[in-house]
Chains A and B, each alone.
Chain A
Amino acid sequence: MIEFWVIFTGLLVGITCGIAGVFLILRKMSMIADAISHTVLFGIVMAFIVTQTLNGFWLLIGAAVAGILTAYLVQLLHSSGIQEDASIGVVFTSLFATGVLLITLFASNVHLDVEHVLMGEIAFVPWDQWTFISITMPKAVWMLLLVLFINIGFLLLFFKEMKLATFDAVYAASIGVPIIFLHYVFMTSISFTTVAAFDSVGAILVVAMLIGPAATANLISKTIKQMFLWSMFYGGASAIIGYYLAKLWDTSIAGMMATAVGILFVVTVFAQKFVNHKRKMIVRKLESL
């Protein structure tokens, strides 16, 4: 039963991040996701300092605020003429350093273990349970389901606007699509996703799940809908493969899941090249007949 929850949590992380990652890739915002995964530390610490609790709900809010703040600051610097990659670099390193400093100053005695935040510990997930309307499940699962629900809701509401705003922002603005609003709502959903996956795989490895499956899906998808499906598949597959390999070699589950993301990506790249090569050979053979 314990193992079931661990696997299920991993699966949820893979699927939720897979969905969120699609527009991340298409909007070329992978590194902002990386930035947010670091700055949520700052958000969590601030939430703790303000509320003096480690309540998951407030941490979620703190993370969301940090996510929006990150996106806003990057935009601010970028519109001042600083190139985007440098803007991202300045913002996330500064906020992360601030977060670390705040921990040592105000929260050093609390179990706000940085290692845990960055790497998570999925094996502990089944032990921390919540009961809600008489259903008892691990807290991590509740949070992930909530975020999955939010992400899907966001998509159902704004799919076509996000699609247009991503493909051609200037045209979108010219017909009244609220591109700035969409940008920040999307960044918020990324922040939520990051925090929900904390307990299980940690902040840094969430980014692997956000970027990897969607990037791999991008290689082989001809439509966005296909990209969502493939991304969810790759996310889930990475989680399961990662879990079993980690068990096999007695090593970090989160680390192995990120490794699996990489393996699936490389396999897909080569498989695609191989298939394309074979296609070309067949076409050439047919043409020479």
Chain B
Amino acid sequence: MLSGNLLWVMLGTMLLGTAAGITGTFSFLQKQSLVGDAAAHAALPGIAIAFLLTGQKDLPILIVGAAITSALSVYCIQWIVAFSKIKADAAIGLVLTVFFGIGVVFLTVVNHSPLGNQSGLNDFIFGKAATMTKVDLAWLFISATIIIIVSLLFYKEWKLLIFDPVYARGIGLPVEALKAILTVLIVLTIVTGIQSVGVILMSALLIIPAVSARLWTIKLSSMLILSAAIGGISGMLGTFISSMRTGLSTGPIIVLVASSIFFISYLISPAGRLNKYLRKIQFRKQGEVG
């Protein structure tokens, strides 16, 4: 039966998936899904440096460090695109790998120091959802709540910003500030999520639910709700499935649940493959007759 601890982890990953689904949708609509990937990788140097500077493995300190470098990476990407001829894709790839490389450098220094934790990198990449504590869960709960509230608060403004930026500027919306808040939310999601599911899988949660939701609807409000739901379900179901056998990492299973939902959506949603195929057949039939 479901153990108490399992239920806590399921709740935590559900909250994480929900938060990721929401912020991921906003990234997706701005065509910045991969910026989230870069920001996730960029958390590594922040964690390592925070530890080196303070000598403490306290969660809040590490989270602050992660948040700083994560947010910094987003601004570096924008800066590169704005001030050089380098295009977005190269800027993202460059920032992602260089920040991660710097992170590896500092992590190695940490591992060589007497206080270092040897399993650092593995935890960072895959997370350790199974060992989630009440404190971790509390952080997740707070983050998720903040994210949901802020999203509701700024929903109208962000909607305008995304779909009609010229008009938004025209009516005097503080565009840069709004974008900054969104960046902060994304970074918040990433730094709280990394501990549970790790870097790469955090990127997955930011992208897959949003893309899946898009296949079913083009209305922003529906997309947000659907994406949040898919993220939440992936978290819960993934955690549950991974508990059924020892030795399975929670992170990959969560991602695979999300991928499966995507796959199904890809096939049978209104915008999906099956319907496209049917429309194509119909079109060709008409062409032959007419």
Contacts and interface: CB of A to CB of B under 8 A. Distances in A.
> Taking the complex as a whole, does A directly touch B, i.e. does some CB pair lie under 8 Å apart?
yes
Interface of A: 25, 28-31, 33-34, 38, 77, 80-83, 85-86, 88-90, 93-94, 96-98, 100-101, 104-105, 108, 114-115, 118-119, 204-205, 207-208, 211-212, 214-215, 218-219, 246, 249-252, 254-259, 261-262, 265, 269, 273
B90 A30 contact: yes
Interface in B123-169: 125-126
A31 B85 contact: no
Interface residues on B, range: 35 or more
A119 B104 contact: yes
Contact of A255 (B101, B122, B211): B101
B97 A258 contact: yes
B207 A89 contact: yes
Nearest to B206: A89
23 contacts: A80-B273, A80-B276, A82-B211, A83-B28, A88-B34, A89-B33, A89-B37, A89-B211, A90-B207, A97-B256, A101-B256, A104-B249, A114-B126, A115-B125, A214-B90, A219-B85, A250-B109, A252-B105, A255-B107, A256-B101, A261-B94, A262-B102, A265-B94
B122 A85 contact: no
A93 B93 contact: no
Chain B interface secondary structure, helix, strand, loop or mixed?
helix
Nearest to B204: A93
Chain A interface secondary structure, helix, strand, loop or mixed?
helix
Contact of A262 (B86, B87, B101, B251): B101
Nearest to B121: A115
A98 B201 CA distance: 11
Contacts of A33: 93
B8 interface: no
Given A30-B90, A94-B208, A100-B249, A255 B255 contact: no
B89 A29 contact: yes
B161 to A, nearest CB: 18
B34 A93 contact: no
Count chain B CB atoms within 10 A of each CB in A25, A89, A249 and give the residue with the most: A89
Nearest to A91: B259
B266 interface: yes
A88 B93 CA distance: 13
Count chain A CB atoms within 10 A of each CB in B94, B108, B211, B251 and give the residue with the most: B94
A162 to B, nearest CB: 18
Given A34-B96, A108-B247, A207-B97, 6 more contacts: A31-B89, A89-B34, A90-B208, A104-B247, A218-B90, A273-B83
A205 B101 CA distance: 7
Contact of B94 (A211, A249, A257): A211
A215 B259 contact: no
A75 to B, nearest CB: 14
The 4 closest A-B pairs by CB, nearest first: A258-B101, A255-B104, A262-B98, A93-B204
A269 B98 contact: no
B233 interface: no
Contact of B97 (A25, A115, A212, A269): A212
Contacts of B103: 255
B125 A114 contact: yes
A215 B108 CA distance: 27
